[in-house]
Each structure stands twice: as C-alpha cells, then as structure tokens.
Amino acid sequence: MTRRSVAGWPKQQTLALFLALALAMATLIETTPGRVSAGTAAAAAAPGGPPSSGAAVDDWDDPADDEEGYCAPYNGKVCKAFVNSRQVWYSREDGTGGWENEKITAALFRDLINDLPDYCRPAAEKMLCAYAFPQCVIKDGVTMRLPLCYEDCVATHLQFCYNDWALIEEKKERGDVIKSRGHFRLPNCEELPRHNKSARPPTCSHVGLTELIQEEATYDCRMGNGRYYIGTVNVTATGIPCQKWDSQEPHSHHKPPLVFGELQDAENYCRNAGGEEPTPWCYTTDKAVRWQACDIPLCPNSTDMISTKKPVSIVMESVFTPSMIFLLSGIGFVAIVLLHLMVFLCYRIARHNNSNRRQGTTGYNTASTQDTQGIDINKLPSNVNYHRTGAQLNPKLEKLEFPRNNIIYIKDLGQGAFGRVFQAKAPGLIAGEDFTLVAVKMLKDEASQDLQVDFEREACLLAEFDHPNIVKLLGVCALGRPMCLLFEFMARGDLNEFLRQCSPFAQQNRADSISTELSHGDLLSIAFQIASGMMYLSERKFVHRDLATRNCLIDDNMVVKIADFGLSHKIYLQDYYK
C-alpha cells in the first residue's frame, strides 16, 4: 500500500483525522489535574464516592494519589440532604462513575443507620455521607479529597454514638462485620486533621456536629434542653459546686469531649454539650455525687424537654347535662347487673369443676371397651397448631419465667448499657416467701437486635451458675416486651462504692458518729469471697472479662457476689461512667 500525503486524501478522511485530533486534545485536557472538562461533568452525572478500597487516612493528602480523582457536583440521592450540590471527590479508578460508593452507602443506611437510636442517627448519617463523598478542593493545581474532621469524629465516637460505636468495634474483634460495608472502614479519630475555620482551602470535610450556633446561644435561660446555654451558673440544682470540664478530679470522665464549641472557656459552668440530657448539668466537686442537673430557668416561649405534656381542660358544664346524667346512670346500672351475673356464673363454674375433681372420673360418660377397639392412636391425624405457641422461649429461661404484671416497683437504682435498673418486690418468686426483694434489669425499648441477643445470652449464662459468691438470677420476664431479668437484691450496692464509704478519709467527713471502718478481717473475707467466686468460674472454663470492685455487689451480711460478666465489656463502660 502506497503512502499518501494529507493533501492527497479525500475530504472525508481529512475530516475524520481532524476529529480524532480534537478528541485526543479533549482527553489530554480532561486528564490535567484541577480541570473539569465536558467529559468529566458527564461522568459525574452518576453518583460518586471517595477513597478506593484500603485507602489509609495518611494517604488523603498524597499528591500522587490525588491525581487519580476529580471534582464535580454530587448528583446522587442517598446523601443529597447532607452533601447538597457541593464539589465532591470522585475516583478515576471507579469505572462506574462513583456508583459503587452510592450503593454501599445506601446499603449501610438500610443495614445499620436506620436502626440506630434517635440521638445517634443524625450524626452517623452526616459522618457516613462525608466519608463516602468527601469535599473536593484544588490546591496548587492538584485535586485533593478532604478527610473527616477530628472534632466531628470524636463527637460521634465519644458522645452521640458511644454505645453503638463500641458495639461495632466489639463485633469487629469477633470477626463479625457488616457484609454491606464494602471497602468502607471505621475512621481512626486520632489520625484525622483538626478543623480550621480560617484555613483556605479547608483542612477537612467539616459537618458541623460540634459547632456553637450563635443565633441560638443563651446566657440567662435555656431554650429546650439548653444545648446552647453558655451562661455562668456553676452549681447544681442542690447547690453542689461544679467540677471544671478540663479537670479529672474528683471525677475522671471522657464525655462530653472538649471538642464542642459550648465547652470552650466553659470553666466549671453548667453545660449540655451535644444535647444529651434534658437540661444543662455538670460533674460535681462532691466525690459521692458524680454529676447533677443544674437549675437553669426556661426562656420565654420555649418548650421544656423534661415534660411536654399539657393538661387537657374539660368544660364540665357542657358535658354533664341532665339528659347525659340520666343516660350515664342507666348505663351504670346495667353494667353493675351484668357484672353481678358474670361473678355468679364464674362461681357456679368453679364450684362445678371442684365437684368433678372430688368425684374423679365418675362424672363423665366413659365409652365401652367395644367402641375403642381397633383404634390405632399413631394413625390419628396430627394437629400441628396444638403445639404452636406465640413466643419462642429459650429452654434455659423457661423455668425462670415470672409474670411481669406481678412485679411491684419500689425505686430506680440506675441506668445501664442495656437499659433501666430498679428495685422491686416479686411476690411468690421463691417458695416460702411472701415476697422477694429483687433488682430488675430491664432491656430498653429501642435496643438493637444485637443488644437483645447479648441480653438474652447473659441471662442464659447466669441461669447456669449456682454459687454463694455469684449473683443469682431468680427470674426472667421473657414473654412480651421489654425483657426483664430479676436478680437477688444486694442492699449495700456495688463493692467499689461501699469500700470508698468505709475508707478512713470518708469516716473523718461523716456527720454521724457511727463507724463503718472495715477491719483487716473484713477485708480478707471480701477478698476470699471474690476468689471463691472466681475459682467457681474457672472450674467451668469461664473467663470473667471485667473483674473489678464496681462489678461486685455486697449485702447487709457482708456477703460479696460477682455480678456483671463483661460479655460486651466496652458497652458496659456506660454503666459506670457518664
């Protein structure tokens, strides 16, 4: 085949050559860092997402890695309410135009986010969308994606989603991960950059979880739960001075984290950072009182978060007219007559049944032997519905089932990771006792499926233990909701608090003259009882994951029993520390 010059080509071939050169130039421009061509904008029409699989936090600002992405508006649906139409980072390695991250995010919303409690869910939604679709900036001609901010991460981890984050980490250690997570991973907050308001371009993808909204800030009163109250009240409602927020004495704490704007220069003033409580509060300087709410008045035209129920006023004169009174009287008379008839009928039925029992089988017409011959019971049809019940109860707990309506509430004892704990009386729980004092651990209504499984697993485990130094599970309320566990009541509470009250320092500060200081013999007895309980667990190949004085209980007779068994020890931190 002979060569031809361009000038000698037909017009159609010349035109095709120019079109090919134009396309090549367009491709070159598109791949230049910091530029978005028409082809790039078209590719961004599909929803997109950030880090490729296995990307580490330290790689966010690597220029070589950033050259593989481009900036374009977010056009997806899942995170539209959080990302809006800002410029987000898209990976060039994702041939689907970012659809992979959109699909993973939608799956995580379905499998994880939607089941989170109301306090945690908004923060988790914003963080997931900022992770999946990070903010995109161009610096020195290089396209960069911005990682999550340290402040938002810490607030979500230690404040908004403390229990749920710990539960996810616990499952991760057991190898139980969410299958729909794809290449998404929980961030390491300590490795993330801090938010800098004045930095241009910004340092991270800020979602504003810790921002102090100046328009809602109050100084002399509180709006709603007082999240943005920044006044100077520094005593609790009972007059106890507040501990400084940046101090760990006398109470060590990690929440709320100091990343919240309302805690900046807060000294020891009452605050409600993150809005977790219904009113501003503080840690106290009293070693015996960890924290208390503060008495901050409600602002005018504001709704109190503690109680929003309003009394319903009824105009009695318009209801109880003479005709209405006559009608109600007639209905009441008929109801009384029917009630007496029902009582009389029940009495006759009960009397008839008792008479039949005394007479044995003489009160029934028995069939003759001739009628029953030739019947093979094994060939009779089986009614599968006869053995079907409405609830499936674990066999280990079935013998411990106690009617929840028989529980008599006395007082609250505290709030744990699983839910509320209160003291109660249980009539007829133990044979020979009119009633038994118990501590009832009640599973909270909004508990996730995993938390319900852990709760039932703890009940099944404790049902097998029988030792004088292991807390005894006396009963369960597993039929219906919420599920409750009934433990023997230990009057002196947890051993940690008891030992502190009996310390020489506490004795000096007691107002009364009664001495409760422990002798060496008492201390040896306590240690011996704990060792005895641990030996019992060891013989049964059980490892207690969180043995501490706070997880032991003591009664009025100085009997010590091991309690919480650390099945999910990270979420138990909520039991002891705010």
Q: Please state the CATH superfamily assignment of the domain spanning residues 394-493 in this structure.
A: Phosphorylase Kinase; domain 1 (3.30.200.20)
pLDDT tens by residue, the chain, 578 residues: 433 344 444 544 444 444 444 444 444 334 333 333 333 333 333 333 344 333 333 333 333 344 478 888 888 888 888 887 678 888 887 766 668 888 888 999 988 888 888 889 999 999 999 898 898 988 888 888 899 999 999 989 888 898 888 888 888 888 888 888 888 888 999 999 998 888 888 889 888 888 888 888 999 999 988 999 999 999 999 999 999 999 999 998 887 888 888 888 889 999 999 888 899 999 999 998 999 999 999 998 877 665 444 333 333 444 456 667 778 888 988 999 899 889 988 888 887 776 555 444 333 333 333 343 443 434 434 444 333 344 455 677 778 888 888 888 889 888 776 778 889 999 988 888 888 999 998 888 777 888 888 778 878 888 888 899 999 889 998 877 788 889 999 888 889 989 988 887 776 666 555 557 788 999 999 999 999 999 998 888 888 878 899 889 999 899 999 987 644 333 333 443 33
Classify residue 160 by its DSSP letter: I
pLDDT in the model for residue 391: 44
Domain boundaries, the chain: 69-191, 212-302, 394-493, 494-507+516-570
Class of domain 494-507+516-570: mainly alpha
pLDDT in the model for residue 67: 45
Of 90, 109, 107, the C-alpha closest to 46 is 90
pLDDT in the model for residue 469: 93
Q: What is the DSSP secondary-structure string of 4-51?
A: --GGGS-HHHHHHHHHHHHHHHHHHHHTSTT---HHHHHHTTS----P
pLDDT single digits (tens) 175-228: 888 888 888 888 999 999 998 888 888 889 888 888 888 888 999 999 988 999
pLDDT in the model for residue 21: 45
pLDDT single digits (tens) 498-526: 998 888 777 666 655 555 778 899 999 99
CATH of 212-302, one of 3.60.15.10, 2.40.20.10, 3.30.450.30, 1.20.1050.10: 2.40.20.10
Q: What is the dihedral of CA 105, 106, 108, 112, to 10 degrees?
A: 140
SS (H, E, C) 164-185: HHHHHHHHHHCCCCCHHHCCCC
pLDDT in the model for residue 317: 41
Q: Tell me if residue 61 is catalytic.
A: no
Largest pairwise CA distance in the chain: 123
Q: What distance in Å separates the CA atoms of residue 156 and residue 132, rounded to the nearest whole number? A: 16
pLDDT in the model for residue 574: 40
pTM, whole model, 2 decimals?
A: 0.44
pLDDT single digits (tens) 71-128: 888 888 888 888 876 788 888 877 666 688 888 889 999 888 888 888 899 999 999 9
Give domain 69-191's CATH architecture. Orthogonal Bundle (1.10)
pLDDT in the model for residue 418: 73
CB half-sphere exposure, 9, CA atoms < 13 A: 12
- Residues near 212 by Cβ (< 8 Å), separated by ≥ 6? 228, 230, 260, 261, 262, 264
pLDDT in the model for residue 301: 81
Alpha carbon 144 to its chain's center: 35
pLDDT in the model for residue 528: 95
Classify residue 159 by its DSSP letter: I
Helix (H) or strand (E) holding 188: none
pLDDT in the model for residue 60: 36
* Strand ranges in 92-155 using DSSP code E only, listed in sequence order: 136-139, 142-145
310 annotated as ligand-binding: no
Q: Which of 59, 65, 295, 546 is catalytic?
A: 546
Alpha carbon 511 to its chain's center: 41
pLDDT in the model for residue 351: 76
Q: Quick one: tokens of 370?
A: 């001739």
| Cis peptide leading into residue 250 (ω within 30°) | yes
